[in-house]
């Protein structure tokens, strides 16, 4: 037995796919989704993400960009120490925050470290 779905504009399209009614701004996005791409959401209030906060590349993949570095820690292993940082992302299908290796993250997103250094110098 299938559980009832409460998604506005949702229509079943075959055994494992659903068609969503999308906004005009998302007209380039295919409106049929496999059930594995849909996630159950439990919330007390309606959730809405402003479209200007969603970034989609030419292949219609979500572009997830880090917004800021929230925290720093050093992970201690037997013979080494690995600096890690807690990052807040603009849009994630999972957690809004993730822990990343600082050295690898810095190679890809150097601008977050430059902005952080200049803002900490301004407050000193």
Q: Pull the structure tokens for residue 86.
A: 């807690």
Strand pairing partners for 76?
Answer: 81
Calpha distance 87→24 (Å, rounded):
32
Per mean pLDDT, which range of 27-36, 67-76, 77-86 is the poorest?
27-36
Q: Pull the structure tokens for residue 42.
A: 């439990």
The pLDDT of 45-68, averaged and rounded, is 72
Instruction: Identify the band that residue 84 occupies on the pLDDT scale cut at 50, 70 and 90.
Output: very high
> Looking at the predicted structure, is the pLDDT value of residue 71 above 90?
yes
Q: Which of 74, 75, 54, 79 is nearest to 65 (CA)?
A: 54
Q: Which domains does the chain have, with CATH numbers?
A: 1-42 (no CATH), 66-123 (2.40.50)
The pLDDT of 90-100, averaged and rounded, is 72
Instruction: Identify the band that residue 53 occupies on the pLDDT scale cut at 50, 70 and 90.
Output: low
The pLDDT of 8-27, averaged and rounded, is 76
Per mean pLDDT, which range of 73-77, 98-102, 113-117 is the poorest?
113-117
């Amino acid at each position: 037995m299938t559980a009832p779905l409460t998604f506005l504009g949702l229509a079943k399209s075959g055994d494992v796919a659903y068609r969503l009614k999308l906004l005009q701004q998302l007209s380039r996005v295919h409106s049929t989704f496999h059930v594995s791409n849909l996630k159950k959401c439990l919330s007390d209030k309606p959730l809405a993400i402003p479209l200007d906060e969603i970034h989609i590349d030419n292949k219609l993949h979500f572009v997830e960009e880090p917004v800021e570095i929230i925290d720093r820690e050093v992970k201690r292993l037997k013979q080494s120490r690995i600096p890690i940082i807690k990052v807040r992302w603009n849009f994630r299908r999972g957690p809004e925050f993730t822990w990343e290796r600082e050295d690898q993250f810095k190679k890809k997103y150097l601008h977050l470290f430059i902005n952080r250094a200049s803002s900490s110098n301004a407050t000193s």
